[in-house]
Amino acid sequence: MAEIPTAAISRLVTYLRILEQLETQDVSRTSSTDLAERAGVTAFQVRKDLAYFGRFGTRGMGYTVPILKRELVRVLGLNQTWNVVIVGVGRLGQAIANYPGASDYQFQYVGLFDVSPELVGRRVRDLTVQHISDLRDFVRDHRVDMGFLAVPPDRAQDAAQALVNAGVRGILNFAPVVIGPRPPEGRTAEGHSHNAAHALQESGDDWRGVIVENVDFLAGMKRLAFYILNPHLKDSPVPEDTA
Amino acid sequence: MAEIPTAAISRLVTYLRILEQLETQDVSRTSSTDLAERAGVTAFQVRKDLAYFGRFGTRGMGYTVPILKRELVRVLGLNQTWNVVIVGVGRLGQAIANYPGASDYQFQYVGLFDVSPELVGRRVRDLTVQHISDLRDFVRDHRVDMGFLAVPPDRAQDAAQALVNAGVRGILNFAPVVIGPRPPEGRTAEGHSHNAAHALQESGDDWRGVIVENVDFLAGMKRLAFYILNPHLKDSPVPEDTA
């Protein structure tokens, strides 16, 4: 597949969301112009994003909503089951576990993990919260496709490492910190010592092939602050009137 | 200011986060290579992103952590107070209101709003939850810079419109739906009728200049699913070993 910018994947998710909303409104056909207007991008951008994955429309005819929706579901891998564990079952983790729509598209919460004695053993939804020390055995005995990280910022790196050590290859990080393989303490910004580089290499090996996506509302707050101060740098959410 | 891609702003937020982490580790100097490695981008990307806003480093000398941090804080508008109302004080809204670090950078929660009789009147943090019908008066009487939308998906558009009608110009939308000015019912995908276009125009007018940023964990789940299936399309979180 060609080099595809991450932003294009985010836009595909938005197009899918718009198609779902159109379907609930019994709109059966759409166009790159219509999708662009609703997504706040250009029609050219819509066509370019979709073209990475095939030809979904008929020139001049636009798109059939259920067909394009089905194709985007397939492209995004949402036509298969994804087993998810949540690490961190405080307010945020419970909000995620209980959020309506989170179980759409066969995302299934199969395990909840925390360290807090008040939480371990408690029932959340249909699951009993387990201690993080049981994560490795759980992942060995169950299929786990993703781990959601909903711990406090200062616990995120350790919890992420626990997921990686347990063999979870996909992490959705809700903590407003950068997680990943860590150089050892004492490493300077100028570069690694030989030992540091070696240690990073070892640490990096665990993380090789691990996919991390971030859902960071503090970052969202900061982006919003920037665009409120620099509105000319942002597409207005108001679609151009194409009538 | 030059055209600046949205992704660059997201990366600035990441660089700031890394600088904060370096500061807690008493690292006083960094480099585009070091920032790039920690952020999972190229050093060229770091230099390009920073260059939009000025020259922060000395060639060959890298960056002074506290100075670059201070400059990014200024660029992102985080050196001023932002008054925030939260609309939707269920699990998610309460998780946001109570999340550690959310009150960093002078983001101040000044009002909480909901429609639920069980929530209105309840104390959350140091605030009493008010009914959404009081939002307009509240915004008239207080400075409100941003509204956080933490309502269920099916309530997001109405709640967003309430924020816009009340005069809030910045919205951080946590609901996994596309919010914005809405064409009236019955509009077809082929385009607007004259009346529809007119109504969209009117609706659009309220939204003109409104900045919407999304923090969408369902979208994060979908991006993660895509990249787990297509890891070759994603930069590995493992930094290259530059030693």
| Predicted pLDDT at A138 | 98
Q: Is the pLDDT of residue A49 over 80?
A: yes
Q: From CA A215, how far away is CA A220, in angstroms rounded?
A: 9
Residues B15 and B35: their CA atoms lie apart, in Å, by 7
The pLDDT of residue B163 is 96
pLDDT score for A102: 65
- The pLDDT score that the predictor gives to residue A203 is 56
- pTM for the predicted model, two decimal places: 0.81
Summarised one tens digit per residue, pLDDT across range A12-42 is: 999 998 999 899 899 999 999 999 988 888 8
Name chain A contacts of B179, Cβ cutoff 8 Å: 237
Return residue ranges of chain A for CATH 3.40.50.720: 82-180+202-222
B212 annotated as a binding-site residue? no
- Using CA coordinates, name the residue in chain B closest to A81: B225
Provide the pLDDT for residue B103.
Answer: 63
Annotated binding-site residue? A38: no
Residue A241 has pLDDT above 80, yes or no: no
Read off the pLDDT of residues A153-183 as tens digits, 9 standing for 90 and up.
889 999 999 999 999 999 999 988 889 887 5
Asked if B9's CB is within 8 angstroms of A7's CB, the reply is no
CA angle (B160 as vertex; A233, B168 as ends), nearest 5: 60
Mean pLDDT score, A131-146: 96
Whether residue A220 has pLDDT greater than 90: no
When CB atoms are compared, the residue of B207, B220, B233 closest to A215 is B220
| Torsion (CA) A194, A195, A198, A199 in degrees, nearest 10 | -150
A90 annotated as a binding-site residue: yes
**Which residue ranges does chain A devote to CATH 1.10.10.10?**
6-76
Name the residue in chain B with its Cα closest to that of A222: B76
A76–B226: do the CB atoms touch at under 8 Å? yes
With a cut of 60, say whether residue A96 has pLDDT above it. yes
Contact B225 A78 (CB under 8 A): yes
B60 chain-A contacts, CB cut-off 8 A: none
Residue type, A207: W
Per-residue pLDDT at A237 exceeds 70? no
Give the pLDDT of residue A56: 78
Those residues of chain B that have pLDDT short of 70 are 1-2, 101-105, 183-205, 235-243
pLDDT value, residue B243: 26
Q: CB B39 to CB A178 under 8 A?
A: yes
Name the residue among B38, B189, B214 with its Cβ closest to that of A27: B189
Distance CA A164, CA B71 (A): 35
- Percentage of residues in chain A having pLDDT higher than 90: 48
User: Which pLDDT belongs to residue A191?
Assistant: 42
**Partner-chain residue, chosen from B17, B211, B237, that has the shortest CB–CB distance to A177:** B17
Partner-chain contact A217 B221, CB within 8 Å: no
Q: What is the per-residue pLDDT for B203? A: 56
Among residues of chain A, what percentage have pLDDT more than 70? 84
Q: What is the pLDDT of residues A199-216, one digit of tens each?
A: 455 555 688 889 999 888
**Core vs surface per residue B88-99: b (16+ CB within 10 A) or e:** bbbbbbbbbbeb
Of the candidates A194, A217, A243, which has its C-beta nearest B194's C-beta?
Answer: A243
Which of B100, B193, B222 is closest, CB to CB, to A13? B222
pLDDT number for residue B222: 87
Q: Say if residue B40 carries a ligand binding annotation.
A: no
ipTM of the prediction: 0.83
Fold of A82-180+202-222: Rossmann fold (3.40.50)
- Structure confidence at residue A239 as a pLDDT band (50, 70, 90): very low
- Does the pLDDT at position A62 exceed 70? yes
Q: Best mutation site among A32, A213, A242 for testing chain B: the one with the most B CBs within 10 Å?
A: A213
Residue B184 C-alpha, separation from nearest chain A C-alpha, in angstroms: 11
- Measure in Å the smallest separation between the Cα of B176 and chain A Cα atoms: 8
B30 and B20 Cβ atoms separated by less than 8 Å: no
A186: pLDDT strictly greater than 80: no
**What does the DSSP assignment read for A207-235?**
HTT-EEEE--HHHHHHHHHHHHH-GGGS-
Chain A residues with CB-CB distance to B232 below 8 A: 1
Q: Report pLDDT digits (tens) over B20-46.
A: 989 989 999 999 999 998 888 889 999
Per the listing, tokens 């919003």 go with: A224
- Distances in Å between the Cα of B101 and the Cα atoms of B11, B17, B108, B127 are 19, 12, 11, 18
pLDDT at A130 (0 to 100): 98
Q: Which residues of B touch A220 (CB under 8 A)?
A: 172, 213-215
Option in A33, A77, A177 nearest B21 (CB) = A177
Fold of B6-76: Arc Repressor Mutant, subunit A (1.10.10)
Residues of chain B contacting A107 with CB distance shorter than 8 Å: 221
pLDDT at B40: 80
Average pLDDT, chain A: 84
